[in-house]
């Protein structure tokens, strides 16, 4: 299941849904948060802009791909947009499977894909001013390793 | 044709989206970029270095020689930073 | 932090603790559950026996090892013992870091290690009778890959 | 010396733990196993195939030729199945 929303999400609620099937032996979650980054150039807020129709399409596609590659019982992707603050949750990926490696590996795959394939752009308001987050070349390389 | 802009491309052009009537000779993404650059100084500045920009046609990322037609939805944006 | 307990645990509570530090950019969780395994030989219950002092010692050791190998901001391991039923939570591993790969990889490492290095033994009560869960050779191989 | 048993080793021996006074000649895990096997039929059955059994001395997994002394805490158990 995928959700693109302004509101925050509740990890326990998603955990409950993923544990409903009693054949589930393992559940993996990844939660991405806004970092304050105090040590460098303090971040005051992060505004996520997105391309709504394309986001839904890409998230569906990524989820289908994960279900092709691994034996999953359930999967959830929640991605927020709008203005967020340090400590706020941005994204949740959750996967459940009979055996742990399917859940663990697909969860990592999903978050790696989201980094470079989900049409979001992040505008950071830092101590030094506003700036669009640039492409992380490490992320582009990481996602290639999944081919 | 409906053209959408995101991130700093949107900021520089000063438009979320715009409608244009596509000249049939402008039949690829590359030709569309050349056409848009003539529109205004803001377009010209935003699209100057095409290596910084990605294009989606009907919500699929494509390359510059991808063919386009008037009914397509086009979007220009920098590399995505999701997750 | 490590906890060895009979009681269930609350993932949201641990999530809250791991998100307290505003430099955290990513949190990974793995939750292991008792599988009913309906398709084969239905599991009615699973009783976890453990060697208490050694468990604490090994869990501490594993956590220290993960903190040596990755840049973690926080980590939590909760392992239950006693009689559990299908759908019950057995184990929680949670890690937080600035950049996602540290949290993701250390979380996988920790659960891999727990499988073969934490002194727990599982007695399953199945449709066909009671049986101690045997060593999973795949798990022993997996943990060797972390050397 | 305090000896603990877990899992099916405990079930077969019928004891959670036992205290023995260690003969100084019994100075390795291997010699301890040989000594225990003489204790009872249950000990003998449980420890018959030593390849199935792991041993911890003072909560560290060790191999058969590990040296032991009377103050050590010893545990015998099958491979661990945590997580």
Phi, psi (5° rounding) for residue A38? -55, -35
Whether chain B has a CB inside 8 Å of the CB on A146: the answer is no
Q: Which residues on chain C are in Cβ contact (under 8 Å) with D75?
A: 51, 54
Nearest C-alpha of chain D: how many angstroms from C121?
5
- The set of chains that have 3 or more CB pairs under 8 A with B is A
Q: Which two structure tokens, joined as six digits, stand for A89?
A: 């949750």
pTM for this entry:
0.95
* pLDDT for the residue numbered D71: 96
Cβ distance of A29 and C29 shorter than 8 Å: yes
In chain B, what is the straight-line distance between the N-terminal and C-terminal CA atoms, in Å? 30
Low-confidence ranges of chain C (pLDDT < 50): none
Rounded CA separation A96/A98 (Å): 7
- The structure tokens 């402008």 sit at B26
Inter-chain residue contact D83 with C32, CB threshold 8 Å:
yes
User: Which residues from C are below 8 Å from A87, CB to CB?
Assistant: 19, 22
Which regions of chain D does DSSP assign to beta strands (E)? Answer: 2-5, 17-19, 54-57, 60-62, 73-77
For the sheet with D60-62, list strands across it. D17-19, D2-5, D73-77, D54-57, D60-62
The answer to whether residues C82 and C31 touch, using CB atoms and an 8 Å cutoff, is no
ipTM of model = 0.94
Is B63's pLDDT higher than 90?
yes
CB-based contact, A10 to chain C, within 8 Å: yes
Domain for residue B83, yes or no?
no
Rounded to an integer, the average pLDDT of B8-26 is: 96
Stretch B2-9: mean pLDDT: 98
- Residue D40's domain is classified under what CATH number? 3.10.20.30
**Secondary structure string (H, E, C) spanning chain C:** CEEEECCCCCHHHHHHHHCCCCCCCEEEEEEEECCCCCCCCCEEEEEEEECHHHHHHHHHHHHHHHHHHCCCCEEEEEEECEEECCCCEEEEEEEEECCHHHHHHHHHHHHHHHHHHCCEEEEEEECCEEEECCCCHHHHHHHHCCC
Pairing of strands A129-132, A120-126: antiparallel
A80 touches chain B (CB under 8 A): no
pLDDT tens for chain A, 147 residues long, are: 999 999 999 999 999 999 999 999 999 999 999 999 887 899 999 999 999 999 999 999 999 999 999 999 999 999 999 999 999 999 999 999 999 999 999 999 999 999 999 999 999 999 999 999 999 888 888 888 887
Closest in D8, D10, D80 to C119, CB measured? D80
Cβ proximity of C123 and C34 under 8 Å: no
User: Mind telling me how many Å the CA of B73 is from chain A's nearest CA?
Assistant: 11
Contacts of C116 in chain D (CB under 8 A): 79-80, 82
Rounded CA-CA distance A66/A141 in Å is 19
Q: Do C109 and C66 form a contact (C-beta atoms < 8 A)? A: yes
The pLDDT mean for chain D works out to 96
Model pLDDT, residue B8? 98
What percent of chain C is modeled with pLDDT above 90?
Answer: 88
Average pLDDT over residues D8-36: 96
DSSP one-letter code for D28: B
3-state secondary structure at position A115: helix
How far away is chain C from the Cα of A61, in angstroms, using its nearest Cα? 22
Of D51, D50, D41, D49, the closest CA to residue D12 belongs to: D41
The region that residue B20 occupies, defined by phi over 0 for left and psi between -120 and 50 for alpha, beta otherwise, is beta
Number of domains in chain D: 1
pLDDT digits (tens, 9 = 90+) for C59-74: 999 999 999 999 999 9
Q: Does D51 touch chain C (CB under 8 A)?
A: no
User: Closest Cα of chain A to B29: distance in Å?
Assistant: 18
Neighbours of A126 (CB within 10 A): 15
Q: How many angstroms separate the Cα of C18 from the Cα of each of A35, C7, C113, C119, D65? A: 13, 20, 21, 26, 43
pLDDT of A39 reads: 78
Identify whether D83 is part of a domain: no
Tokens found for residue B74: 């086009």
**Nearest partner of C16 among A7, A45, A12, judged by Cα:** A12
B14 assigned to some structural domain:
yes
Task: Output the pLDDT for position B80.
Answer: 97
**Cβ-nearest to A51 among B4, B8, B79:** B4
Q: What's the structural domain count of chain A?
A: 1
Q: Would the CA dihedral through D47, D51, D56, D57 be positive or negative? A: positive
Token pair in block for residue B81: 């930073």
Q: What strands lie across the sheet with B60-62, from one edge to the other?
A: B17-19, B2-5, B73-77, B54-57, B60-62
Residue A14 pLDDT: 98
**In this predicted structure, what is the pLDDT of residue A137?**
85
The per-residue pLDDT for C147 is: 78
Report in angstroms the alpha-carbon separations of B21 from A90, B14, C78: 38, 20, 62
CATH code: domain of residue A111: 3.90.1170.40
Are C122 and D75 inside 8 Å of each other by CB?
Answer: no
Which domain covers residue C139, as residue numbers?
A: 2-144
Is the pLDDT score of B33 beyond 90? yes
Alpha helices in chain A (DSSP H): 11-18, 52-69, 100-117, 137-144
Average pLDDT on B59-63 reads: 96
Which three-class secondary structure state does DSSP give residue A82? strand
> Is C133 within 8 Å of chain D by CB?
yes
* Domain annotation covers residue B21: yes
Q: Based on the number of CB atoms within 10 Å of its own CB, is A147 exposed (0-12), middle (13-18) or buried (19 or more)?
A: exposed
Which tens digit of pLDDT belongs to each residue from D50-78?
999 999 999 999 999 999 999 999 999 99
């Amino acid at each position: 299941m995928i959700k693109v929303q302004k509101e925050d999400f509740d990890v326990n609620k998603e955990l409950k849904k993923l544990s409903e099937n009693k054949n589930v032996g393992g559940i993996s979650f990844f939660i991405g948060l806004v970092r304050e980054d105090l040590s460098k150039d303090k971040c005051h807020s992060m505004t996520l802009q997105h391309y709504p129709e394309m986001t839904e399409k890409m998230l569906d596609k990524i989820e289908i791909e994960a279900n092709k590659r691994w034996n999953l019982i359930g999967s959830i992707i929640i991605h927020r947009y709008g203005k967020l603050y340090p400590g706020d949750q941005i994204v949740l990926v959750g996967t459940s499977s009979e055996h742990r490696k399917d859940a663990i590996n697909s969860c990592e795959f999903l978050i790696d894909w989201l980094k470079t394939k989900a049409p979001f752009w992040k505008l950071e308001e830092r101590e030094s001013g506003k700036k669009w987050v640039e492409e992380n070349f490490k992320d582009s390389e990481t996602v290639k390793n999944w081919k | 044709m409906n053209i959408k802009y995101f991130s700093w491309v949107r900021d520089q052009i000063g438009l979320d989206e715009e409608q244009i009537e596509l000249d049939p000779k402008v039949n690829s993404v590359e030709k569309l970029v050349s056409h848009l650059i003539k529109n205004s100084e803001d377009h010209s500045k935003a699209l100057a270095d095409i290596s910084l920009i990605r294009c989606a046609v009907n919500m699929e990322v494509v390359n510059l020689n991808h063919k386009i037609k008037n009914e397509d939805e086009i979007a220009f944006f920098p590399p995505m930073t999701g997750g």
